[in-house]
Amino acid sequence: MGLKIFLISIKMVIVTCIFGFGMVLSGCAPAVMRPSPEVYRETPRESDEFEKNAEKPGFSPRALAALQLTEQGRIFLENNQPDDAIGILERALNLNPNNGRNYYYLAEAWLMKWNIGLATEFNRLAEIYLNDDSEWLSRVILQRERIKERDQ
Protein backbone atom coordinates (compact mmCIF):
# COMPACT_ATOMS: atom_id res chain seq x y z
CA MET A 1 0.00 0.00 0.00
CA GLY A 2 2.78 2.36 1.02
CA LEU A 3 4.68 1.53 -2.15
CA LYS A 4 1.57 2.30 -4.26
CA ILE A 5 1.19 5.72 -2.62
CA PHE A 6 4.89 6.38 -3.14
CA LEU A 7 4.68 5.47 -6.86
CA ILE A 8 1.60 7.66 -7.37
CA SER A 9 3.36 10.56 -5.67
CA ILE A 10 6.40 10.11 -7.92
CA LYS A 11 4.13 10.08 -11.02
CA MET A 12 2.40 13.25 -9.88
CA VAL A 13 5.71 15.00 -9.32
CA ILE A 14 6.91 14.02 -12.79
CA VAL A 15 3.63 15.19 -14.44
CA THR A 16 3.77 18.47 -12.50
CA CYS A 17 7.37 19.01 -13.57
CA ILE A 18 6.60 18.34 -17.25
CA PHE A 19 3.55 20.61 -17.14
CA GLY A 20 5.44 23.36 -15.34
CA PHE A 21 8.35 23.12 -17.75
CA GLY A 22 5.92 23.37 -20.67
CA MET A 23 4.34 26.45 -19.15
CA VAL A 24 7.73 28.07 -18.70
CA LEU A 25 8.67 27.25 -22.29
CA SER A 26 5.43 28.67 -23.68
CA GLY A 27 6.09 31.84 -21.73
CA CYS A 28 9.50 32.08 -23.38
CA ALA A 29 8.10 32.08 -26.91
CA PRO A 30 6.12 35.26 -27.54
CA ALA A 31 3.80 35.29 -30.56
CA VAL A 32 4.78 38.82 -31.55
CA MET A 33 8.14 40.23 -30.80
CA ARG A 34 7.87 43.15 -28.42
CA PRO A 35 10.75 45.55 -28.36
CA SER A 36 11.98 46.67 -25.02
CA PRO A 37 9.95 49.71 -23.94
CA GLU A 38 13.19 51.62 -23.46
CA VAL A 39 13.53 51.80 -27.24
CA TYR A 40 10.63 54.24 -27.38
CA ARG A 41 11.16 55.94 -24.07
CA GLU A 42 14.61 56.89 -25.24
CA THR A 43 13.53 58.22 -28.60
CA PRO A 44 12.12 61.73 -28.53
CA ARG A 45 8.55 62.37 -29.57
CA GLU A 46 8.43 63.56 -33.16
CA SER A 47 6.00 66.29 -32.13
CA ASP A 48 8.81 67.73 -29.99
CA GLU A 49 11.05 67.54 -33.03
CA PHE A 50 8.33 69.32 -34.97
CA GLU A 51 8.20 72.19 -32.48
CA LYS A 52 11.99 72.33 -32.36
CA ASN A 53 12.35 72.46 -36.13
CA ALA A 54 9.29 74.50 -37.07
CA GLU A 55 11.22 77.70 -36.48
CA LYS A 56 14.37 76.59 -38.30
CA PRO A 57 14.74 78.49 -41.57
CA GLY A 58 16.10 75.60 -43.69
CA PHE A 59 13.52 73.08 -42.54
CA SER A 60 11.01 72.63 -45.36
CA PRO A 61 7.24 72.52 -44.74
CA ARG A 62 7.27 69.13 -46.38
CA ALA A 63 9.78 67.82 -43.85
CA LEU A 64 7.72 69.30 -41.03
CA ALA A 65 4.59 67.57 -42.30
CA ALA A 66 6.50 64.32 -42.62
CA LEU A 67 7.46 64.58 -38.93
CA GLN A 68 3.78 64.37 -38.04
CA LEU A 69 3.51 61.08 -39.87
CA THR A 70 6.72 59.82 -38.28
CA GLU A 71 5.19 60.56 -34.89
CA GLN A 72 2.04 58.61 -35.81
CA GLY A 73 4.24 55.72 -36.89
CA ARG A 74 6.16 55.87 -33.62
CA ILE A 75 2.90 55.75 -31.65
CA PHE A 76 1.76 52.69 -33.63
CA LEU A 77 5.05 51.04 -32.71
CA GLU A 78 4.53 51.96 -29.09
CA ASN A 79 1.16 50.23 -29.29
CA ASN A 80 2.74 47.17 -30.82
CA GLN A 81 1.08 47.66 -34.23
CA PRO A 82 4.01 47.19 -36.61
CA ASP A 83 1.90 46.84 -39.76
CA ASP A 84 0.12 50.11 -39.12
CA ALA A 85 3.42 51.74 -38.26
CA ILE A 86 5.00 50.58 -41.51
CA GLY A 87 2.08 51.92 -43.56
CA ILE A 88 2.37 55.40 -42.09
CA LEU A 89 6.17 55.47 -42.01
CA GLU A 90 6.26 54.66 -45.72
CA ARG A 91 4.11 57.76 -46.32
CA ALA A 92 6.50 59.78 -44.14
CA LEU A 93 9.41 58.45 -46.17
CA ASN A 94 7.76 59.48 -49.41
CA LEU A 95 7.28 62.99 -48.03
CA ASN A 96 10.77 63.33 -46.64
CA PRO A 97 13.28 60.70 -47.75
CA ASN A 98 16.06 62.41 -45.80
CA ASN A 99 14.67 61.81 -42.32
CA GLY A 100 16.80 58.98 -40.99
CA ARG A 101 14.42 58.38 -38.09
CA ASN A 102 11.85 56.98 -40.52
CA TYR A 103 14.33 54.28 -41.47
CA TYR A 104 15.14 53.67 -37.82
CA TYR A 105 11.48 53.14 -36.95
CA LEU A 106 10.93 51.04 -40.05
CA ALA A 107 13.79 48.80 -38.95
CA GLU A 108 12.13 48.58 -35.55
CA ALA A 109 8.78 47.63 -37.10
CA TRP A 110 10.30 44.92 -39.26
CA LEU A 111 12.18 43.63 -36.26
CA MET A 112 8.86 43.31 -34.47
CA LYS A 113 7.61 41.32 -37.43
CA TRP A 114 10.67 39.04 -37.25
CA ASN A 115 11.84 40.12 -40.69
CA ILE A 116 15.54 40.35 -39.96
CA GLY A 117 16.46 40.99 -43.61
CA LEU A 118 14.37 44.14 -43.94
CA ALA A 119 15.21 45.25 -40.40
CA THR A 120 18.90 45.07 -41.33
CA GLU A 121 18.30 46.94 -44.59
CA PHE A 122 16.44 49.80 -42.91
CA ASN A 123 18.96 49.93 -40.10
CA ARG A 124 21.68 50.39 -42.72
CA LEU A 125 19.72 53.22 -44.33
CA ALA A 126 19.12 54.80 -40.92
CA GLU A 127 22.85 54.87 -40.37
CA ILE A 128 23.41 56.70 -43.66
CA TYR A 129 21.00 59.47 -42.73
CA LEU A 130 21.78 59.70 -39.03
CA ASN A 131 25.55 59.49 -39.10
CA ASP A 132 25.95 63.17 -38.30
CA ASP A 133 23.73 62.93 -35.22
CA SER A 134 25.73 61.21 -32.50
CA GLU A 135 22.73 60.63 -30.24
CA TRP A 136 20.72 58.92 -32.95
CA LEU A 137 23.71 57.12 -34.35
CA SER A 138 24.24 55.38 -31.03
CA ARG A 139 20.59 54.28 -31.14
CA VAL A 140 21.11 52.95 -34.64
CA ILE A 141 24.16 51.00 -33.50
CA LEU A 142 22.28 49.57 -30.53
CA GLN A 143 19.47 48.63 -32.86
CA ARG A 144 21.90 46.84 -35.13
CA GLU A 145 23.13 44.84 -32.16
CA ARG A 146 19.58 43.91 -31.25
CA ILE A 147 18.94 42.82 -34.84
CA LYS A 148 22.06 40.65 -34.75
CA GLU A 149 20.99 39.15 -31.43
CA ARG A 150 17.58 38.25 -32.81
CA ASP A 151 19.18 36.81 -35.91
CA GLN A 152 21.18 34.32 -33.86
Residues binding other proteins (CB under 8 A): 50, 60-62, 64-65, 68-69, 76, 81, 83-84, 86-87, 90-91, 93-98, 118, 121, 124-125, 128-129, 131
Q: What is the rounded distance in angstroms from the CA atom of residue 60 to the CA atom of residue 54?
A: 9
- Of the two residues 116 and 118, which places its CB atom closer to other proteins in the complex? 118
Considering the complex, state which of residue 11 and residue 62 has its C-beta at the smaller distance from other proteins: 62
Shortest approach of other proteins to residue 59 CB, angstroms? 10
Among residues 11 and 52, whose Cβ is nearest to other proteins?
52
Instruction: State the minimum distance, in angstroms, from the CB of residue 123 to other proteins.
Output: 12
Q: Which is nearer to other proteins, 69 or 140 (CB)?
A: 69
Asked if 67 and 93 count as a contact pair (C-beta separation under 8 A), the reply is no
CA–CA distance, 111 with 104 (Å, rounded to integer): 11
Q: Which of 62, 129, 134 is nearest to 98 (CA)?
A: 129
CB-CB contact of 103 with 92 (8 Å): no
Nearest Cα neighbor of 91 from 75, 69, 113 is 69
C-beta of 37 vs 61, nearer to other proteins: 61
Residue 62 beta carbon to other proteins: minimum distance, rounded to whole angstroms: 5
Q: Whole-number minimum distance, CB 10 to other proteins, in Å?
A: 50
Please, what is the minimum distance in Å from the beta carbon of residue 7 to other proteins? 53
**Cα–Cα distance for residue pair 71/45, rounded to 1 Å:** 7
What is the widest separation between alpha-carbon atoms in the chain? 90
